[in-house]
Chain A
Amino acid sequence: MKHVSLKETKNLKDQTRIDFKMVTFTLAGKDYGIDIMKVKEISKASKFTFVPNAAPFVKGVYNLRGDIISVIDMRIFFNLEAEEAEGNTENMIILRLDSHVLSVIVDSIDKVIGISSETIQPPHPLFGDINIKYISGVVENEGRLYVILDVERILGDEEQVDGRTVESISASSISSAAPLSVQESTVSTTGNAVKEDVDIGFIEETLITFLSFYSSPVNQEWIRSRFSAWKKQKGEDVQLANVQDAEAYLSPFASPFSGSYWNSDFAEKAASFLPADHTGNFYIWNPGCESGYESYSVACLVKNRLPDVHLRIIAHDNDLIRISTAPGLVVNQASLGSLYDNFLTEGSRGKQFKKEIKDAILFEYHDITHDNTLPKLDMVVMRDTVSYIVPDRQQHIFNTLEEVMKPGGLLILGTHEQPINPGAWEKVENSGVVAYKKK
């Protein structure tokens, strides 16, 4: 019950096509971008090995896991003010150019931004700080203007740049010329941790761009553990380059039976959390119900366990096409499992749920990021849904839950999700199925 199903990419096609991604950073307070295909990785380091007689913008050489690469200070190269980095640890972008690998120092590294290459505009001839021939374009994103640097032109081989022969700073010539001294630079362990944070940060940004999946306290634990597995699988090349990569990264996120009927075993385990005796009204909220499969499953499992309650399920989704079919859902499967047998009936159009089940569920076309008007709730089933909502609305939804849920009310989230404010909930578990009871 995701707002954006992994298999469904049609929504993405409706948006502007993202075909150009860049790593953004700042130099002297201004925003710049470099084509992500040129970026090998991001790193922090200090203590570069000084190379005598090199141009002033060459900071030195640096040992990147055994490869000696040259380090260029972008700020000095472009005659900008170079502020001393905190603790002398510089932010580096390591570039893989056609001919060699080298590293540039920038003020701070921001994030990865995906844009449509059609929105890139040619540079204006009056750009002051950086010579126009090094700029491949200018693009606006979320109110900020990014100057896209043509790194191949600036730092590529055999280019006469501003009278400085860049060839002389290529890695090969330096590694032979400069003896490595005791100052040999090393990436500290904290540097590695920072790099991992930056990598995860980039992945989080990419997941938003491609699948509108938002990282937040709800799913952060999973994202981090998934990153380790992803890194093992992919090696150094951890970035998500396209929708397929993003889908692959997110594929283990989906909970069992997400967006489909729950099997009897799973429903049985979920039902074990329900109170043994309950009379009167029993209100359930099921946001992100998609075509209603899970709403019907929940209705059957509650009716099975608590036959006498007056059951009311409020099922919401903002995908009109999917939810339109939910009220008159026809069951195509031969059997859904023993749980459902008592609740199905042959109708004119095929097998359908009985009236008592249908009448219990109110399907509404509703966007849960707007205001939610809800009665006092006994149970909430919200699986793989909040992760697809912007974080401040996630917070808002959890606040609503804490407000409208009865004490002891049951919250079922996606398998890899957890409540934002764990203090308000008591975790209960039955052989792998987890739920949260409101304190």
Chain B
Amino acid sequence: MRVEYINPFVEAAYNIMTEVLQADVERKDLYLKKTTQPVMGVAALVGLAGDVEGRVLIDMSQDTAIKIASTMNGEKLTGLDELAKATITELANMITAQAVTKLFDLGFKFDLTPPSIITGENMSVSNANVEALIVPLEMPQGLVEINVAIRERA
């Protein structure tokens, strides 16, 4: 993945998380994963197009998702209901949008697709021939991984 893309995503994810949760967010070391990766349980997906092709996946466990949605809504949610799902979707949208804005300032043009959310057990995601950059963020609600796979359009 192009070096210039990395920082905008890391910064956007960190800023948005800190802002919406009003909590201490700790960024762990970034790393690369091969093409097929397991997904923790709740995955919000935003597609990217333009100069590049790829997608951003915001990945967390169901428990973490409920806790984050509860904090963001200011009320205690008990399950992953419609409201919780909509909240996580919005979170993915905010992170990706801010990253894309930062990238535009650097001279890269990206378009976004509307976010979608996928939930389930034992899931994995694969992208043909693209490795993913993982940005792990640790917060009181649990671990959230920002999983970015982008490649240059050939």
Contact = CB atoms under 8 A, between A and B. Distances in A.
A367 B32 contact: yes
Given A318-B32, A373-B151, A366 B131 contact: yes
A363 B2 contact: yes
A375 to B, nearest CB: 7
B121 interface: no
Contacts of B133: 365
Contact of B34 (A327, A364, A371): A371
Given A320-B30, A362-B152, A365-B32, A370 B3 contact: no
A318 B35 CA distance: 16
B77 to A, nearest CB: 36
In this complex, which of A327, A371, A375 has the most chain B Cβ atoms within 10 angstroms of its Cβ?
A: A371
A365 B29 CA distance: 14
A364 B1 contact: yes
Contacts, number: 41
B32 A364 contact: no
Interface residues of B, number: 17
Given A320-B6, A324-B6, A365 B130 contact: no
B125 interface: no
Contacts of A362: 2, 152
Interface band, chain A: 10 to 19
B129 interface: yes
B75 interface: no
A370 B2 contact: no
Given A320-B6, A365-B6, A365-B133, A370 B1 contact: no
Given A324-B3, A365-B6, A373 B32 contact: no
Given A318-B32, A320-B30, A367 B131 contact: yes
B4 interface: yes
Given A318-B32, A320-B30, A370-B32, A327 B4 contact: yes
B131 A370 contact: yes
Interface string A335-379: 000000000000000000000000000111111001101010000
A364 B129 contact: no
A38 B152 CA distance: 56
A367 B130 CA distance: 11
Interface string B1-21: 111101100000000000000
A23 interface: no
Contacts of A327: 3-4
A323 interface: yes
Contacts of B151: 373
Contacts of B131: 366-367, 370-371
B4 A366 contact: no
Contact of B32 (A326, A363, A366, A375): A366
Interface in B35-93: 35
Contacts of B35: 370-371
Contacts of B6: 320, 324, 365
Contacts of B32: 318, 365-367, 370
A256 B32 CA distance: 30
B36 to A, nearest CB: 11
A373 B3 contact: no
Given A367-B131, A371-B131, A323 B34 contact: no
Interface string B119-154: 000000000011101000000000000000001101
B80 to A, nearest CB: 33
Interface of A: 318, 320, 323-324, 326-327, 362-367, 370-371, 373, 375
27 contacts: A318-B32, A320-B6, A320-B30, A324-B6, A362-B2, A362-B152, A363-B2, A363-B3, A363-B4, A364-B2, A365-B1, A365-B2, A365-B3, A365-B6, A365-B133, A366-B131, A367-B131, A370-B32, A370-B34, A370-B35, A370-B131, A371-B34, A371-B129, A371-B131, A373-B129, A373-B151, A375-B154
Interface of B: 1-4, 6-7, 30, 32, 34-35, 129-131, 133, 151-152, 154
